[in-house]
Amino acid sequence: MSNFLDRLLNREPKSAKVAKDRLKLVLIHDRTAMTAQSLDRLKDDMIRVVSQHVEIDRDAVRVEVHKDGRRQRLIADIPLQTKRIRR
């Protein structure tokens, strides 16, 4: 919300907020040894494997690492293609 307000007023976010957001990402990388590149490769592999079984919306796939206390979880959101019904 404060982010939204900042953008609306074209205001720089406060440095503490920037620090926290940067640290969130850094800690995930430090803890999992995962980089943006390795996450991209994983995403490509997942798209390849899943699309062998079901039709998916490739452009909308999101694969992210979330921090949950001292643990990390991999969250994949893979929207399925709606089946077109032919007349």
Q: Which of 3, 5, 11, 14 binds other proteins (CB under 8 A)?
A: 14
If the CB atoms of residues 22 and 62 are measured against other proteins, the closer one turns out to be 22
Q: 69, 49 in Cβ contact below 8 A? A: no
Nearest distance, CB of residue 9 and other proteins, angstroms: 14
If the CB atoms of residues 32 and 51 are measured against other proteins, the closer one turns out to be 32
Q: Which of 5, 19, 60, 76 binds other proteins (CB under 8 A)?
A: 19
The phi and psi torsions of 52 (rounded to 5 degrees) equal -70, -20
Question: Within 59-78, which residues bind other proteins (CB under 8 A)?
Answer: 69-70
Q: Which residues bind other proteins (CB under 8 A)?
A: 14-17, 19-20, 22-24, 26-27, 30-31, 69-70
